Structure 1
Amino acid sequence: MTQLVQQVLDRRKELDEKTSAIRRKLQTYPDGKLICTRNGRYIKWYHSDGRIQTYIPKKKREYAEQLAEKKYWTLRLNELVREQKATEAYLRHYEVELLSSTADPSELFLTDSPASGELLTGIQSDNSQTIQEWLNSPYQQNEKYPEQLIHKTAGGIYVRSKSESLIALLLHMHGIPFRYECELQLGEIAVYPDFTIMHPKTEKIYYWEHFGLIDDSSYVRSAMAKQQNYIANGIIPTIQLITTYETKANPLDTETVEKTIERYFK
């Protein structure tokens, strides 16, 4: 058993405990959910039972706070459950048998509206506001060949290969914020790097391209042209551009991904 697999097993056990604790916590909150609206600089809170919205006056702020916290913990639980499933898939990929375990999740970023977030005074995120906003902002993704997006990742997105799934999982486990196939304009050409990453400490942007068919000469020519395009636009391999490679005989492994993450982001 590799050190990484043992870490995943240990962290998966922690995740079982965390999801159980959150489920118990959710039982203590009132029914329904919070709806926030903004009119200029004024914010109004409403309780919704799924059919009717009832205004919550400012004097009942504590009630609104409970509903906001309920929303936060519900989102967090959903994230942990998704990562649990992804971790199980990862362990199955490496043929590790589990009896009882779970993985420690990466940080859940607040995905509710700023109006709801204003009520979460007791909950802090380890990541900067810049990173949270970057993660929560919509972006243009690659729309070509959607039928190839068949591998589900820890964050709930779909990628095109097992190697990309491995990269996404380990980025997620290390708390490295990323976007998948986010549009990047290089001169007049739009490209879609496999991963666009914001450094969790410096907030600088990096791009990670994984080249998975290095046995194929036509693929190699295309990969070289892609790298030359990056260089022509000031994105230099080993500096802002991270590259990994594999062949059929030498597939991408966890050690390579771990060392790459350590080199650039730790």
Structure 2
Amino acid sequence: MYNSKLYVEKELQYQDKVAGLYRKELKDLPEGKLSVNMVKGKPYYFRLLNGKKTYLGNGDNEVVQALQKRYFLEESLKRMECNQILLDQLAKGYCEADVQDLILQAPKAYRQMPLDSFHLSETDFSGWGSSSYERNLKYPENLVHRTLKGDFVRSKSEAIISNLLFTKEIEYRYEELITIHGKSISPDFRIAVKSENRIKLLEHFGMIGNPNYLEDAMWKIKFYLENGLKPWEDVIFTFEDIHGNINTQLIDEILESFCR
């Protein structure tokens, strides 16, 4: 079973690191807060410090920009500190529901229970993702990003998704060649969803700001829909924005919701 405590501890470490960087940055920023008067749609800024109000001019003023940065760093820190308290509580209070641990801690009358009794699904996906399968081997020179599982994938975003699946102990196969209604295709991921006792596909679309890439992405989505695959039920789609930015937290929530 996936141990959420590991993910929580890693997130806590990440937020500790970022919060430390923010606090360091704040030391070099001026003290005070901003107020603004709008005159005919143009902002005029004032600095509030120790009960005094000092005129700073418009938004081109370096002090204005520094105080704006201070505000966002301080507000971010407030949220991080709240998150850190909650994450720390979760990490300390988390109880792993591992079968072996349960058996070891159980009364003697329950310690001889066969492990098969805990297999609730008809299909055993254990090791499915690591077993032999036919992969798409086109353009092997693009397989440059190594994942925690040991695979090589084509993009950093696919590496992120692979690593999220791996740390969640969700079995998956990368770019497996399959046939859908006579057409050979290799989805980015085939994922074993234990709760539904089935396989789902996941396609990640990264360079949607590129017209040629977007055209290929739309063809793929259209292909799945025309062949009866239903979004989220049969195939999951994840995207980056037109600038190539990926929302890792959103993808993590999608995997939790549809791939467990």
Does the 8 Å contact 1:140/1:183 carry over to 2?
A: yes
How far off is 1:257 after superposition? Answer: 1.3
Distance 2:259 2:9 in 1: 19
Q: Which residue of 1 aligns with 2:165?
A: 171
User: Where does residue 215 of structure 2 map in the other structure?
Assistant: 221
Deviation at 1:187, TM superposition (A): 2.1
Partner amino acid, structure 2, of 1:151 = H
Q: Are the aligned partners of 2:207 and 2:213 in contact in 1 as well (CA < 8 Å)?
A: yes
Distance in 2, matches of 1:193 and 1:124, equals: 34
Counterpart for residue 227 of structure 2 = 233
SS in 2 for 1:201: helix
Contact 1:177 1:200 (8 Å CA) reproduced: no
Asked whether the 8 Å contact 1:151–1:161 carries over to 2, the reply is yes
Q: CA deviation at 1:189?
A: 1.7
| DSSP 3-state at the match of 1:168 | helix
Q: Is the 8 A contact 2:200 2:235 kept in 1?
A: yes
Matched, 1:8 2:3: no
Is 1:147 aligned to 2:149, yes or no? no
TM-score, normalization: structure 2?
0.53
1:259 — aligned with what? 253
Q: Aligned partners of 2:7, 2:256: CA distance in 1, in Å?
A: 17
Structure 2: gaps of 5 or more residues: 14-97, 99-111
Letter in 2 for 1:188: G
Equivalent residues of 2:240, 2:247 under 8 A apart: no
Check conservation: 2:191, 2:199, Cα contact below 8 A.
Answer: yes
Q: Return closer, same or farther for 1:227/1:201 CA change in 2, 3 Å cut-off.
A: same
Residue in structure 2 matched with residue 23 of structure 1 by the alignment: none
CA deviation string 1:114-172 (max 9, x = no partner): xxxxxxx9x96987762026334311100100010111111111101110000001111
Instruction: Measure how far apart 1:183 and its partner are.
Output: 1.0
Q: Are residues 145 and 262 of structure 1, via their aligned partners in 2, closer, same or farther at CA, if it must alter by over 3 Å?
A: same
Q: Is the 8 A contact 1:186 1:229 kept in 2?
A: no
Shift of 1:210: 0.4
Structure 1 partner of 2:241: 247
Q: Deviations over 1:42-91 (max 9, x none)?
A: xxxxxxxxxxxxxxxxxxxxxxxxxxxxxxxxxxxxxxxxxxxxxxxxxx
Residue 4 of structure 1: CA displacement?
9.2
Greater RCO between the two (CA within 8 Å, min separation 6)? Answer: 1
Q: 1:252 to 1:4 in 2, by over 3 A?
A: farther
- Measured in 2, the distance between the counterparts of 1:4 and 1:242 equals 25
User: What letter matches 2:222 in structure 1?
Assistant: Q
Q: Give the corresponding residue for 1:51.
A: none
Whole-angstrom distance in 2 between the partners of 1:130 and 1:6: 27
Percent identity between the two aligned chains: 32
Hey, what's the Cα distance between the residues in 1 that align with 2:244 and 2:133? 33
Matches of 1:137 and 1:155, distance apart in 2: 13
Structure 1 contact 154–169 (Cα < 8 Å) conserved: yes
Work out whether residues 128 and 172 of structure 2, in 8 Å CA contact, stay in contact via their aligned partners in 1: no
Conserved 8 A contact 1:180-1:195: yes
* CA distance in 2 between partners of 1:133 and 1:151 (Å): 22
Partner of 2:184: 190
Q: Give 1 or 2 for the bigger CA radius of gyration.
A: 2
1:179 counterpart SS class: strand
TM-score when normalising by structure 1: 0.52
